[in-house]
Amino acid sequence: TIGNCVINSEGILLKNFFVTWDDLSYQKNYNKLTINSKSNSAIWTNLYYTETDNVHVLMHFLEWKFESTQ
């Protein structure tokens, strides 16, 4: 669990909606990591670098995960 996200091998549970890795997109912003569902624009969250424990770990994991699937 990082912030309001629960991560497992299949994807991320976010706002009681399970986002699979294929459906997930993310943005690294200057002060936060934003996670989105591609299929449902209402499902997204911001994880602020200074307020969320281990958000940098998640950010590096996502970079690795999506780099390895290209």
> Distance between CA 59 and CA 54 in Å, rounded?
9
Say how many C-beta atoms besides its own lie within 10 A of residue 32's C-beta. Answer: 18
SS3 annotation, 43-65: CEEEEECCCCCCHHHHHHHHHHH
CB 25 within 8 A of CB 19: no
Question: What's the confidence (pLDDT) of residue 14?
Answer: 93
Whether residue 3 is predicted with pLDDT greater than 90 in this model: the reply is yes
Which SS3 state, helix, strand or coil, does residue 70 take? coil
End-to-end CA distance of the chain: 26
Question: What's the confidence (pLDDT) of residue 15?
Answer: 85
pLDDT band at 69 (very low <50, low <70, confident <90, very high): low
What is the per-residue pLDDT across 18-64, written as a single tens digit (0 to 9) for each?
Answer: 999 999 999 999 999 999 999 999 999 999 999 999 999 999 999 99
Question: What's the confidence (pLDDT) of residue 45?
Answer: 96
